[in-house]
Amino acid sequence: MTIAASTELICFVILSGVIITGGLGVILLRNIVYSAFLLGGVFMAVAGLYLLLNASFVAAAQILVYVGAVNVLILFAIMLVNKKEDLKPIKGLQVRRLLSGGVCAGLLALLIRVDLTTPWPVPGPKAIGEKATERIGEHLFTDYLLPFELASVLLLMAMIGAIVLARRDVLLTDVGTGDSVDQGLIEKPISPLLIDKSKS
């Protein structure tokens, strides 16, 4: 085994350890802020795996989009809904956890069996290596042009939708003149949409 190969192996072992322990921490830790930061660590480790697989463009996109945007968004959401609440104990929570754990373990066993027993045609054709970024660009502007354009429309819709959904309550009068303002469809005065039945 050459030095390069063993380095690759060591990197893979370390990264997968980080991914698995980080993922377990994300779902098991009590403090949600720790979970969010661990999630960032998991995203970075996944980007490291992509580098190991010779995909530098996707690794960079992963770090930019996931660590830079999604994780920060999650942290902001945690900050905005930051309320210490004691969760009411539910009857049969432990049974529920065990049952779903059993189902997940079964799914895991099934997936691992498929992973290990299928005869993958490895080694396949030679990997492309450093020219991957150029090839991704060619794909995006030739045979994947329609999904690419649809993705841009999807991003625009998601942006507008997120803004509309997350708006704070609005002023129904103009701040300067005091006249009433018709805010149209998207803005509405604050009123609880959902009646909390647990209080009554």
**173 by DSSP, 3-state: which?**
strand
Q: Are 154 and 132 in contact (CB under 8 A)?
A: no
Restricting to residues 67-126, which ones interact with another protein according to CB under 8 A?
69-70, 73-74, 76-78, 80-81, 83, 85, 87-88, 90, 96-97, 100-101, 104-105, 107-108, 111-112, 115-116, 120-126
| Alpha carbon separation from 38 to 41, 60, 66, 72 (Å, rounded) | 5, 19, 13, 12
Can you tell me the distance from the alpha carbon of 66 to that of 80, in angstroms, rounded to the nearest whole number?
20
Can you tell me the distance from the alpha carbon of 36 to that of 75, in angstroms, rounded to the nearest whole number?
7
Instruction: Please report how close the Cβ of residue 176 comes to another protein at its closest, in angstroms.
Output: 27
User: Is position 128 an interface residue for another protein (rule: CB under 8 A)?
Assistant: yes
User: Is position 39 an interface residue for another protein (rule: CB under 8 A)?
Assistant: yes
Restricting to residues 136-195, which ones interact with another protein according to CB under 8 A?
136, 139-140, 144, 147, 151, 154-155, 157-159, 161-166, 190, 192-194
Nearer CB in complex with another protein: 120/179: 120
